[in-house]
Chains A and B, each alone.
Chain A
Amino acid sequence: DTGVSQDPRHKITKRGQNVTFRCDPISEHNRLYWYRQTLGQGPEFLTYFQNEAQLEKSRLLSDRFSAERPKGSFSTLEIQRTEQGDSAMYLCASSLALGRTSSYGYTFGSGTRLTVV
């Protein structure tokens, strides 16, 4: 297992179309996060899962966005009726649910760059 994998790396879609991204975390990691990064900004939290349970969603995650993590393994992020403002890098990260005293940082994937035209 070489890290967090994201697919596809790049996606160009027409406005109004639906897109789905996949993330395969490090196998022993039970926490999985989705972040979005736009130009000139740092990554912004979207949602996170502990095993298969989605435990928190950001206000950034509108009704057009849905994320799943069936069986606590890979995760998908779907955007329905894409808009030009959805163009961004979508980053997935995973980690172990260690104690609060752990400084362990996430491991990020390389991201999926979405361009909505």
Chain B
Amino acid sequence: DQQVKQNSPSLSVQEGRISILNCDYTNSMFDYFLWYKKYPAEGPTFLISISSIKDKNEDGRFTVFLNKSAKHLSLHIVPSQPGDSAVYFCAGRGSNYKLTFGKGTLLTVNP
């Protein structure tokens, strides 16, 4: 039972353009959704989150949108930079602050 799905294993964009990473979930009990970024040989690092009662949260170049009726969220990165190239994980927060992660999307930003 995959409660959090990231259906695009990879995404390639040009530097300066927008990157849009998508995530779908099935568990209505998640109270927060979080995005993590992971470089090879490192642990995931927290990027941005959104409460389940909000529809948008913005932090600099990063904006997360939540469509609760569609059980869908997306992460927008504008403008994309080569240093943003990494694997991005979407996660839902449930009981005991436990996170359920998707499989990740590899973002490549080309100079």
Contact = CB atoms under 8 A, between A and B. Distances in A.
Nearest to A96: B97
Contacts of B98: 33, 45, 48, 56
A108 B97 CA distance: 14
Interface in B1-53: 4, 6, 31-32, 34, 36, 41-46, 49-51
A53 to B, nearest CB: 12
A31 B36 CA distance: 19
Contacts, number: 57
A100 interface: yes
Contacts of A97: 97
Interface string B78-108: 0000000000010100001111111110000
Given A42-B104, A43-B89, A45-B98, A105 B43 contact: no
Interface residues of B, number: 26
Nearest to B51: A103
A25 interface: no
Contacts of A110: 41-43
Contacts of A42: 4, 6, 89, 91, 101-104
Interface in A45-78: 45, 48, 55-56
Interface of B: 4, 6, 31-32, 34, 36, 41-46, 49-51, 89, 91, 96-104
Interface of A: 4, 31, 33, 40-45, 48, 55-56, 91, 93, 95, 97, 100-101, 103, 105-111
